[in-house]
Amino acid sequence: MNTAAIYHEARTPLCCALDKETLQITLRAGLDVQRVTLIYADPYEAGIAGGEESWQGRRMEMRPAVRLEQHQLWRAVLRPPYRRLRYCFEVAAEGETLYYYEDGLRAKLQLDNHVQCFTMPWMNPADLIAPPEWVRQTVWYQIFPDRFCRGGSGRGGGQPWRDGPVTNAERFGGDLAGITAKLPYLAKLGVNGLYLNPVFLAGSIHKYDTADYSRVDPDFGSEADLEQLVRAAHAQGIRVMLDAVFNHCGPNFAPWRDVVAHGPSSPYWSWFFVRQWPFDEGETRDGRYFSFAFHGGMPKLNTNEPAVQEYFIALCEAWVQRYGIDGIRFDVGNEIAHSFLRRLRARLKALKPEPYLLGEIWHDAPAWLEGDEYDAVMHYPLQSAIRRFFEDKARPAAAFGWDVGRCMSVYAPQVNAAQFTLLDSHDTIRLRSRAASEAEYWQQLTALFTLPGSPCIYYGTEVMLDGGPDPDCRRCMPWAKVEAEGPSPSLCTLIALRRREPALQGSEIEFLPGAGRLVHYRRGAGGSRLEVYLNAGAQPEAVAPGGADLFALAWDGETLAPGGVLVRRV
């Protein structure tokens, strides 16, 4: 038996409360393991822990859940009657059975206090990971405000609206009134969540160098225009999420200007990480002060500092109270202090029970998703898994399941259902510019809408808008093309499917064997189940008949052509 591959710890996601009464336990093992049995009891069933008593464990066969490239995850779901559990595992491979405890593997079962069993001490309802339920039914639409639509609320002027490449130095005049004017279009497209890149006062076009967090940038309009946008969006059934840039500020943020002017005598000295005094503002690789990505114009805020925490928590409370927003996306969310995020969450959830708190984190982020900080993160690892499969034509269909399964194995099921999933954004190459073909474009979008998570499309996806790396991914919305051709019917169908089908709104997924590069997986549980096929290979693939087709491309009822897509109810 490959004992080095066996792993469990009594914490999320391997030991996870799904609700206040239901516990999910997962064991990771090597591919040689054939059977796993959970042996469990209440910790106090045989008396008070610490004595010499032995205990009689109940047994539950664990089921194989997610298959990874080198591991198999085994899973059990149970309802401990007293909301606590003591447990160990019986692990069987060909010709060998071992027992796995918190303090190691043994050759025989030993249910007494001479071994250290795993323990879930108490399933506290307050500790439950519980992202807002509405996020499961949400399809997001991301807008970079300057490039979306002119409506007359901003300063006017700017470059003539155009197709093709752009730079970060060019202002085109998109504004809040323009977004408001296009809300009926977005509602007809089917999206019901709006994510706006920063709208508050800043010196740049992108607005990630904030000067005043309480004032809407005149480029986009006024505070009244933002209020009107949120009201109008809510009237259309669309929720609104704002971008919060709290890791760093811009060079004209008043507390920073005070530090620049007065140094250690400034009351805001502790708000930043200044390491040399005096200093010149500029590139910071020499460590004169900490900044975002060594950019001297984006000094890093000290979110460990209580005064900084209180300033930004009160600011978020004001955003929620004044504008009625439904979510906040935190830029560079992995560099913000955990203590700040815990305080912020507690205050905001007390003010409004279901705001969606989203962190911009590009790597696995379980430390931020244990129920007391963010509700979700931007799931860039999932984007990478999808991209890797389609770009590496040598990877078999099973690899798609291995890579996606790995991304999901990092988190609790309720987090997977709420993760902000995306294929491109203002920080990446647009999907159409990196997809090798139009067929691959639609296969990746089908994956986005049928895998677990709360999917987001970047403005222009509905007309296959292309664009290279930042800043080229921030092109003007091609309204002439939209008006001439309309949004893609295929995308409208996928959006409607994702919002309509309960099977796509949870975290249940089963990857099934597929020939060559024929990806095949099943979503949902019980009576609500869908199957998805993506033929990413070079040959047609036969698909067994059955079920009701809900969305299909390059499918003749028997054979799925290369580049083909099939989603059906089973």
DSSP per-residue codes, 386-436: HHHHHH-TTS-HHHHHHHHHHHHHTS-HHHHHH-EEES--TTS--HHHHSS
| Nearest one of 401, 339, 428, 411 to 377, comparing CA atoms | 411
pLDDT at 287: 95
Partners of 96 in the beta sheet?
93
- Confidence grade of residue 52 (pLDDT, cut at 50, 70, 90): low
pLDDT at 528: 82
Q: Which residue has the higher pLDDT, 500 or 156?
A: 500
Mean pLDDT of 99-121: 92
Furthest-apart CA atoms within the chain: distance in Å = 82
Going from the C-alpha of 476 to that of each of 152, 166, 351, 390, 480, the distances in angstroms are 16, 8, 37, 28, 11
Mean pLDDT of 139-165: 96
- Confidence grade of residue 51 (pLDDT, cut at 50, 70, 90): low
CA dist 52 and 45 (Å) reads: 13
pLDDT at 545: 87
- Is the pLDDT at 263 greater than 70? The verdict is yes
**Cβ pair 92, 36 in contact under 8 A:** yes
- Which amino acids are annotated catalytic? 331, 360
Cα end-to-end span (Å), the chain: 38
Q: Which residue has the higher pLDDT, 156 or 170?
A: 170
Structure-block tokens of residue 317: 């409370």
pLDDT, mean over the chain: 96
Partners of 548 in the beta sheet?
569
Helix (H, G, I), strand (E, B) or coil at 301: strand
- Is the pLDDT at 76 greater than 70? The verdict is yes
Residue 324: exposure state from Cβ atoms within 10 A (0-12, 13-18, ≥19): middle
pLDDT at 134: 98
| Nearest one of 422, 420, 423 to 433, comparing CA atoms | 423
Mean pLDDT of 534-542: 96
Q: Using CA atoms of 558, 564, 567, 570 in order, give the dihedral in degrees to the nearest 10.
A: 30
The answer to whether the Cα torsion of 34, 37, 38, 39 is positive or negative is negative
Pairing relationship of beta strands 58-61 and 376-377 according to DSSP bridges: unpaired
Domains of the chain (ranges; CATH) run: 3-127 (2.60.40.10), 133-247+303-504 (3.20.20.80), 248-301 (3.90.400.10), 509-569 (2.60.40.1180)
CA dist 438 and 442 (Å) reads: 6
